[in-house]
A and B are shown apart, each in its own frame.
Chain A
């Protein structure tokens, strides 16, 4: 890797001051697992990295709140995976982490990095979107709330300014909602997915009251499929209804072609897996 400087501020505020809204060669680093890949490939040559690893410890902790979870952005994915609070309030997250990368990466990668990278293949963005999670984002002008749903602007792009940091994620508890996440790998089992589908539903097979369906990986960014959601609400959930939901999802999504599949292939995957994910949620995914 080409040489760069590393700043290690001890507070989030200090870290924000060290960032520059106009200089893309200065970037924050959490676990560094995603940035290292880009730096090694020479795609990203930083002049300076601002490490978040020494900021206040509270940003590395998880707390159960009245209605869900507060997760510090520097929380590692391994801590998230092992948290009893997460398993209780949002078991979908715990299940998702089991197949997210490997233990060594999860030991180091952070929640903030998993979101801010804007990589459409990652698992947490669709899952947190389907759960209706929001973020606390901090910048020079103070803090703002941002729904994870509104975070992604495009392929590896977010709406964050270069001097803004994700500070916390807030995840509403599942409660009686039913949830599932499916990822479809077309290469080896642990390859990046060709498609991810996250589903969170209120109701049962007799009728769905509310639904959030999010697709990722096949699309340039994690995307809510609102017409599929609308098709699912109301009627009895049977094969006919599920076929309509699958078709709506397949028509609605905008696909990207890559080594994991062509556009037409991913469209068919979408049709099938949105159906399967809804079924899995209703049947209680393991």
Chain B
């Protein structure tokens, strides 16, 4: 019953191997075997975005994604992979500078979704920002600051690309 399978993939740039149970989701895998708690199961229903993980370049809800769906060789990124000890990512910096959070619980998910948005729309308008973030909920209601953070992050990314 419930045979474990071994998957080798890349986690935040580093090669890893995990023993995955069929009924575990991606959040359980990341927390249980890798101690990564940036993606946290909250609504558990795909609605809030707190469990956002990037799999092969696409944002998914880790709460609804079976860990066994990962292919060998998959590339998985979480919020923990964005910064270096010396520097935050432009999106992280922008969230700090605009104070786009209060408790910070929702922040990892927002930051990863904003990364996706800016990869596709480096210069997003407000409608595009809202479209990308409809699936991210903030209990502290920092939405106006988040909008500001996205605009600032877009500027920072462009400046970074130009530099």
Flag whether A6 is at the interface (Cβ < 8 A): yes
**Most interface-central of B2, B3, B21 (chain A CB within 10 A):** B2
Q: Are A105 and B134 in contact (CB under 8 A)?
A: no
- In the complex, are the beta carbons of B61 and A105 less than 8 A apart? yes
Q: A4-B2, A37-B45 are in contact. Are A78 and B58 (CB under 8 A)?
A: yes
CB distance from B73 to the nearest CB of A (A): 13
A32 → B minimal CB distance (Å): 6
Q: List the B residue with the shortest CB-CB distance to A34.
A: B64
The answer to whether B135 touches A36, judged by C-beta atoms less than 8 angstroms apart, is no
Is A210 part of the binding interface, using a Cβ–Cβ cutoff of 8 Å? no
Q: Known A4-B23, A36-B66; judge A104-B2 contact (CB<8 A).
A: no
- Which among B22, B52, B64 is the interface contact of A33 at CB below 8 angstroms? B64
A205 contacts the other chain (CB 8 A): no
Candidates A1, A49, A51, A104; contact of B46 at CB < 8 Å: A104
A53 CA to B23 CA, complexed, in Å? 16
A162 to B112, CA, bound (A): 38
User: Nearest Cβ in chain B — how far from A89, in angstroms?
Assistant: 23
Chain B nearest CB, measured from A205 CB (Å): 30
Q: A283 to B22: give the CA distance in the assembly, Å.
A: 50
Interface residue SS majority, chain A: mixed
Q: Classify chain B's interface size.
A: 20 to 34
Contact of B66 with A103 in the complex, beta carbons under 8 Å: no
Cβ-based interface call for A144 (8 A):
no
Residues A104 and B49 in contact, CB atoms below 8 Å apart: yes
Quick one: CB contact mask for A1-30 with B, threshold 8 Å, 1 for yes?
A: 111111010000000000000000000010
Assess whether A101 is interfacial by the CB under 8 Å rule.
Answer: yes
When the two chains form their complex, are residues B64 and A32 in contact, meaning their CB atoms are under 8 A apart?
yes
Q: C-beta contact mask, A29-51 vs B, less than 8 Å → 1, else 0? A: 10011001101100000000101
CB-defined contacts of B131 to chain A, threshold 8 Å: 98, 103
A6 to B20, CA, bound (A): 11
Bound-state CA distance A103–B52 (Å) is 11
Is B34's CB within 8 Å of the partner chain A?
A: no
Which residues B42-62 have CB closer than 8 A to chain A? 44-47, 49, 52, 58-61
> Is the beta-carbon distance between B135 and A104 smaller than 8 angstroms?
yes
**Interchain CA distance A27-B131 in the complex, whole Å:** 33
1/0 per position for A60-86, CB-CB distance to B under 8 A?
000000000000000000100000000
> Cβ of A108 < 8 Å from any Cβ of B?
yes
Whether B65 is near chain A, meaning CB under 8 Å from some CB there, is yes
Q: Contact check: which of A4, A29, A107 meets B60 at CB < 8 Å?
A: A107
Known: A102-B46, A108-B60, A108-B64. A190 touches B2 (CB 8 A): no
Contacts of B58 in A (CB 8 A): 78, 107
Q: How far is the CB of A245 from chain B (nearest CB, A)?
A: 32
Within 8 A of B (CB), among A171-199: 190
Most buried by B among A32, A78, A103, A104: A104
Near B by CB (< 8 A), chain A positions 89-147 give 98, 101-105, 107-108
Shortest C-beta distance, A114 to chain B (Å), equals 14
Q: A104, B52: Cβ atoms under 8 Å?
A: yes
* Distance of A29 Cα from B52 Cα, bound (Å): 21
Which residues in B have their C-beta under 8 angstroms from that of A2?
Answer: 23
Known interface pairs A5-B2, A32-B66, A108-B65; 7 further A-B residue pairs with C-beta atoms within 8 A, sorted by A's residue number: A3-B1, A3-B22, A6-B22, A40-B45, A104-B52, A105-B61, A108-B61
| Sample (22) of A-B pairs whose CB atoms are under 8 Å apart | A1-B23, A1-B25, A3-B1, A3-B22, A4-B2, A4-B23, A5-B1, A5-B2, A6-B22, A32-B65, A32-B69, A37-B45, A37-B64, A40-B45, A49-B22, A53-B69, A102-B46, A102-B49, A102-B135, A103-B116, A103-B132, A108-B65
Closest 5 CB pairs of A and B: A102-B135, A6-B22, A3-B2, A107-B58, A36-B64
Residues on B close to A: CB < 8 A? 1-3, 21-23, 25, 44-47, 49, 52, 58-61, 63-66, 68-69, 113, 116, 131-132, 134-135
* Chain A residues within CB distance 8 Å of chain B: 1-6, 8, 29, 32-33, 36-37, 39-40, 49, 51, 53, 78, 98, 101-105, 107-108, 190
